[in-house]
Amino acid sequence: MSDTSSNIAYVRKDMLPQKAPPKTSVGAIGWINANLFSTPANILLSVVSIGFIGYILSGLLPWVFMSVWNADSLNECREIISEAYGSTHGHACWGVIKERWLQLTFGFYPPEHYWRPILAFILLCVTIAPVLFEKVDRRLLIVTAIYPFLMPFLMWGGTIWGPLTAAVGFVIGYFVYKAAAKKFGTLIAVIAAVMLPVIWWLFIAGPVAGLLSGIPIGLEFVESRRFGGFMLSILIGVVAIGCSLPIGIVLALGRQSDLWIVKSICTGFIEFIRGVPLITLLFVASTLLNIFMPPGTNFDIILRVIIMVTLFAAAYMAEVIRGGLAALPKGQYEGADSLGLNYWQAQRLIIMPQALKISIPGIVSTFIGIFKDTVLVSIIGLLDPMGLTNAIRADSAWNGIYWELFAFVAFVFFVFCFSMSRYSMYLERKLKTTH
Amino acid sequence: MKKTVFFGALTVAGLAAGAAAAATLDDVKERGKLNCGVSTGLVGFAYPDDAGEWKGFDVGVCRAVAAAVLGDPSAVEFVPTTGKTRFTALASGEIDMLARNTTWTFTRDVDLKFEFVGVNYYDGQGFLVPKELGVSSAKELDGATVCIQTGTTTELNLADYFRVNNISYEPVPIETNAEAQQQYLAGACDVFTTDASGLAATRAAFEDPSAHVVLPEIVSKEPLGPLVRHGDNAWGDIVRWSLNALIVAEELGVTSANIDEMLGGTNNPEINRLLGTEGTLGEMLGLEADWAVKALKAGGNYAELFETNIGENTPIGLARGLNAQWTDGGLLYTPPFR
């Protein structure tokens, strides 16, 4: 019936070309229409919010950018500002940051040795890269293994033999385990692999390091008292974060264990540490331990603080990971058992990868919390960035300056914490297996 | 088992160390450094400069002691302490002496088992008011709102003073000195009260210091001085007489400028004894004969330390007042060097 169809004039034979969408629904205008001014209520909210943001920025932007960088004291700043802008109100004096940013970063670390913390920080990035990102060359994991010994050597200095002999302990443990596992079985191998390094550290490492110290390879010793600023915060934060995760995993597993003693010790530890404020633990570290120790023992204050913060973080970490373990269906445990895996194999291959994945947001927020909590050490007299703001204000040149210092400290902390948070989101996306 | 061994070892070590802990001087000499507790930051008294060097009036005392004992004013490890950690730091032996704006009180001296070796600054609680208030005496402050740090002795002193003078006030509680400055400048209170040296430093930080005055009334006694632990009197003597040497040097007119000249010998036997050219004072302390010379060269005598750190030519601008020599009507009065 082709001829009839050709006679019907009102049926269109070909498609109309696509028309551009109306201008009010595309591009910037379209977005604004859809998102900001779609209903009267939204219009009102949008106008109020934009007005509020504008009001904040109108004060903040001139304060940040119409400011003084070149001044040696607050008074000089005020003079320059009142000359340039008429009134001293609402303009920042960044001269204090320009003069003190090195101090805020490194504390009292000797300037000729600044390369050491910088190198330690760069190596830290190299170290965590293969742990954080899959695409990075696996061989970098060697750096990761060396770093725990290299970092203290770089930061504190001294002879190289101390960290080396400490590392040898782990090597001994590894080889003892390898050799003993074949001959005597796993249990004896584990016991031997723990005992022998401990004996090495307690009785042999010291004298050996002493003998070797005749060969003077090392860096100049820098005392803990000289540590400060962001370097101190990052040092405490990184060690606490790095150590708390494995300790936390062990504690979480211990708390779920069927062995009564292990379970009670782990539960007791976690509940005790979580029941005590961090500031109390810091006071214990700084004052109480001093009284228990014999006078003259030099148990490094920063080491004490790091241990306390690590224990604190580990207790929280344990509960976060226990949450992940609890969220796993029972079938996963039973499945692992049915495959004939032993306890550690099941944990390593089946349970932990899933439990940790579930716990990522909790783990990272614990990390961020711990990193920020490091500023509490200013209360026990360590000069972290917040402690230094007070010390800098005590200089009569900068007496009376507040917001600039606080803003700078807040900005640096924000950069670190925000990167951690973004990384955790990246990790969650990468590990997402649901559809 | 390991734990028992550990605690056992601690106990033994503690006992052994307790017996040997008496000789702080030997410890300091062996260490080659004086561990001196200072404030974490107090305007004019202790602060790190941009190169990380500690400066200030209290710091000057530490340096003088280090110079007297070790011959080097830079042989000091400054340990920043807070109001909460200072006493345990001293009691536990973490620091050898504390020079941190600490008021000499009965309980601290007796109950906490410390020995205040003297007074390096006589402070007292004062009042800061805006000039436009038109007040010239604290007794005219009837009905004023007062910014005051909570939980301090200043709060109690204030209540006492207003009760004695039978006038009323309204307290505005604040937590820190930084907050106080902001509140006072914002007009939340008419009066700000704290130690007079702190008031002077606060006032100096204002944009227009001349618009504010510190009232003449001082309502409390705050003798601030360095302190050491009980139990090592020889060490206490060293710190005490190092401080006294700074004070007596001003009285005798010995300054860091003319000290080399005076070392050649003077007609005043007390100066000669102080500088070690006569007598054996240094030997009696267990120090070198020229201990006081080194202490004085560290930062000058008391007057020089005062003028460089908190005196009238500094932004803080404190007058000598009670801290003048007894010969000038002040309270500085050292026992004789003989």
pLDDT tens profile B150-182: 767 788 889 889 999 999 999 998 877 777 888
Q: Note the pLDDT of residue A434.
A: 67
Chain A / chain B CB contacts < 8 angstroms: 124
Q: Note the pLDDT of residue B6.
A: 44
Short-list B110, B107, B184, CA closest to B153: B107
% of chain B surpassing 90 pLDDT:
59
What's the mean pLDDT in A399-421?
92
Q: Note the pLDDT of residue B121.
A: 95
Q: Tell whether B44 is within 8 A of chain A (Cβ).
A: yes
Least confident of A275-279, B83-87, B321-325: B83-87
Closest Cβ opposite residue A391 in set B44, B47, B81:
B47
B224 has a pLDDT exceeding 90: yes
Q: Tell whether B48 is within 8 A of chain A (Cβ).
A: yes
Q: Note the pLDDT of residue B295.
A: 95
Residues B244, B101, B150: CA angle, nearest 5 degrees: 155
Q: Tell whether B199 is within 8 A of chain A (Cβ).
A: no
B8 has a pLDDT exceeding 70: no
A42 has a pLDDT exceeding 80: yes
User: Quick check: B14 and A88 CB within 8 A?
Assistant: no
Q: Which of residues 342-361 of A touch B (CB under 8 A)?
A: none
Say which residue the tokens 């100049």 belong to: A220
Alpha-carbon gap, residue B208 to B171, rounded angstroms:
25
A347 has a pLDDT exceeding 60: yes
Eight-state DSSP code of residue B313: T
Residue ranges of domains in chain A:
23-65, 110-157, 159-219, 229-401+415-435
- The confidence band for A295, taking pLDDT boundaries of 50, 70 and 90, is low
In this structure, is the dihedral angle defined by the CA atoms of residues B106, B112, B115 and B116, taken in order, positive or negative? negative
Alpha-carbon gap, residue B205 to A74, rounded angstroms:
8
- The confidence band for A266, taking pLDDT boundaries of 50, 70 and 90, is very high
For residue A432, the one-letter residue type is K
Distance from the Cα of A25 to chain B's closest Cα (Å) equals 50
For residue B59, the one-letter residue type is V
> DSSP secondary structure string, B36-71?
EEEES-BTTTBEE-TTS-EESHHHHHHHHHHHHHHS
Q: Tell whether A72 is within 8 A of chain B (Cβ).
A: no
- Backbone dihedral region for residue A259 (phi beyond 0: left; psi -120 to 50: alpha; all else: beta): beta
Q: Are A406 and A375 in contact, with CB atoms under 8 Å apart?
A: no
A145 has a pLDDT exceeding 80: yes
Residue ranges of domains in chain B:
23-122+224-328, 125-220
Q: Note the pLDDT of residue B261.
A: 92
Higher pLDDT, A159 or B106: B106
Q: Note the pLDDT of residue B30.
A: 92
Q: Tell whether B81 is within 8 A of chain A (Cβ).
A: yes
Q: Which of residues 101-160 of B touch A (CB under 8 A)?
A: none
A181 has a pLDDT exceeding 90: no
Q: In a 10 Å sphere around its CB, with 0-12 CB exposed, 13-18 middle and 19+ buried, how is residue A170 labelled?
A: middle
**Number of other CB atoms surrounding residue A28 within 10 Å:** 7
Distance from the Cα of B51 to chain A's closest Cα (Å) equals 8
Is B23-122+224-328 CATH 3.40.190.10?
Answer: yes
Query: A324: Cβ–Cβ under 8 A, 6 or more apart, which residues?
Result: A354, A355, A356, A357, A358, A359, A362
The architecture of the domain spanning B125-220 is 3-Layer(aba) Sandwich (3.40)
- The confidence band for A135, taking pLDDT boundaries of 50, 70 and 90, is confident
% of chain A surpassing 70 pLDDT:
96
- The confidence band for B4, taking pLDDT boundaries of 50, 70 and 90, is very low
Alpha-carbon gap, residue B224 to B195, rounded angstroms:
11
ipTM of the complex: 0.83
Closest Cβ opposite residue A78 in set B45, B55, B207:
B207
What's the mean pLDDT in A187-198?
81
Residues A115, A117, A121: CA angle, nearest 5 degrees: 110
User: Quick check: A379 and B91 CB within 8 A?
Assistant: no
Locate A127 and state its tokens: 């170290």
CB-based contacts of A253-262 (< 8 A; 24+ apart in sequence)? A253/A325, A253/A347, A255/A318, A255/A322, A256/A322, A256/A325
Closest alpha carbon within chain A to B46? A394
For residue B137, the one-letter residue type is S
Alpha-carbon gap, residue A253 to A246, rounded angstroms:
11
**Number of other CB atoms surrounding residue B142 within 10 Å:** 11
Closest Cβ opposite residue A400 in set B27, B77, B181:
B181
When the pLDDT of each residue in chain A is averaged and rounded to a whole number, the result is: 87
Q: Note the pLDDT of residue B16.
A: 41
**Number of other CB atoms surrounding residue A291 within 10 Å:** 12
E-only strand ranges, chain B: 34-39, 47-48, 54-55, 76-81, 97-98, 114-116, 121-123, 125-130, 144-149, 169-174, 191-195, 212-214, 222-224, 227-229
What's the mean pLDDT in B319-324?
91
When the pLDDT of each residue in chain B is averaged and rounded to a whole number, the result is: 88
What's the mean pLDDT in A13-19?
85
Q: Note the pLDDT of residue A8.
A: 64
B252 has a pLDDT exceeding 90: yes
Report the residue of A292, A396, A402 to disrupt the B interface, i.e. the one with the largest count of B CBs within 10 Å: A396
Secondary structure of chain A in the HEC alphabet? CHHHHHHCCCCCCCCCCCCCCCHHHCHHHHHHHHHCCCCHHHHHHHHHHHHHHHHHHHHHHHHHHCCECCCCCHHHHHHHHHHHHCCCCCCCECHHHHHHHHHHHHCCCCHHHCHHHHHHHHHHHHHHHHHHCCCCCHHHHHHHHHHHHHHHHHHHCEECHHHHHHHHHHHHHHHHHHHHHHHHCHHHHHHHHHHHHHHHHHHHHHHHHHHHCCCCCEECCCCHHHCCHHHHHHHHHHHHHHHHHHHHHHHHHHHCCCCHHHHHHHHHHHHHHHCCCHHHHHHHHHHHHHHHCCCCCCCCHHHHHHHHHHHHHHHHHHHHHHHHHHHCCHHHHHHHHHCCCCHHHHHHHHHHHHHHHHHHHHHHHHHHHHHHHHHHHHHHCCCCHHHHHHHHHCCCCCCCCCHHHHHHHHHHHHHHHHHHHHHHHHHHHHHCCCC
Report pLDDT digits (tens) over B119-152: 999 999 999 999 999 998 888 889 999 998 876 7
A51 has a pLDDT exceeding 90: yes
Alpha-carbon gap, residue A63 to A405, rounded angstroms:
13
Report pLDDT digits (tens) over B184-213: 988 899 999 988 888 888 888 888 888 999
**Number of other CB atoms surrounding residue A257 within 10 Å:** 16
Q: Note the pLDDT of residue B15.
A: 41
B229 φ, ψ (degrees, to nearest 5) = -75, 155
A88 has a pLDDT exceeding 70: yes
- The confidence band for A183, taking pLDDT boundaries of 50, 70 and 90, is confident
B311 has a pLDDT exceeding 70: yes
What's the mean pLDDT in B250-255?
94
Q: Which CATH class is domain A229-401+415-435?
A: mainly alpha
What's the mean pLDDT in A297-326?
90
Alpha-carbon gap, residue B10 to A299, rounded angstroms:
13
Q: Note the pLDDT of residue A184.
A: 78
Short-list B294, B292, B299, B301, CA closest to B273: B292
What's the mean pLDDT in B283-290?
93
B7 has a pLDDT exceeding 60: no
B12 has a pLDDT exceeding 80: no
Q: Are B293 and B274 in contact, with CB atoms under 8 Å apart?
A: no
- The confidence band for B18, taking pLDDT boundaries of 50, 70 and 90, is very low
Measured in residues, chain A has a length of: 435
Residues B141, B144, B147: CA angle, nearest 5 degrees: 115
Beta partners for residue B170, in sequence order = B145
Locate A395 and state its tokens: 């200089």
- The confidence band for A97, taking pLDDT boundaries of 50, 70 and 90, is very high
B32 has a pLDDT exceeding 90: yes
In this structure, is the dihedral angle defined by the CA atoms of residues A12, A15, A16 and A22, taken in order, positive or negative? positive
